[in-house]
Structure 1
Amino acid sequence: MLDTLYQEILERKKVPKEGSYTNYLFDQGLDKILKKVGEEATEVIIAAKNNQAEVITETSDLIYHMLVLLVEQGVTLEEIKTELMKREGKLSKMKERKQIDEL
């Protein structure tokens, strides 16, 4: 499903469609896309405090906007999969991670 949506977004960037929200985001540029990713991430957090249905809806919005960002930046899903595969099976030691307040 994510591959299909990514391909649709990529195609929309290559072949714009009048009235398309995806093209609106591309036309507005990186700052607008980043703003939407931030808004949707915040909405996921708020939804998690409310109910599961909202978490599903808002997470779907966040994933869509993240895919638009990836296309805008020229990052493929294959690159993301490769990075995740590098991490598979690795144990992360808490003492090696920065504390949240240090980020």
Structure 2
Amino acid sequence: MCGLDAALRVVGGKWKPLILFFLGDGPKRYGALKRCVRGVSDKMLIQQLKELEAHHIVLRTDHQEIPPRVDYALTPFGESLVGALRPLCMWGEANTETIAEALDETGKA
């Protein structure tokens, strides 16, 4: 298995890169994270967070309070992954128009 294959097994999918991007700004409660990752269902967000936690990318902290308060944060391992994703994010921002045109041409916009 090459390094890219290994990385994609951890971060693959539509929602995980976005979850990681927003957690890169700091810990977030579930509701705040849901507002950041627009369009994701509760079921999918919970599933993706559980997978990221299982891969030691995200740390879930239950504060054992009433009402319940749970925070999600990147582990040091997760922070190293977000560091690797940032150049891809910058590339996407720098090429937004070209990407949009290419997606329009293929009907995937």
Name the TM-score, length of structure 2 as normaliser: 0.28
Larger radius of gyration: 1
Task: Looking at secondary structure, tell me which structure has more strand per residue.
Answer: 2
Name the TM-score, length of structure 1 as normaliser: 0.29
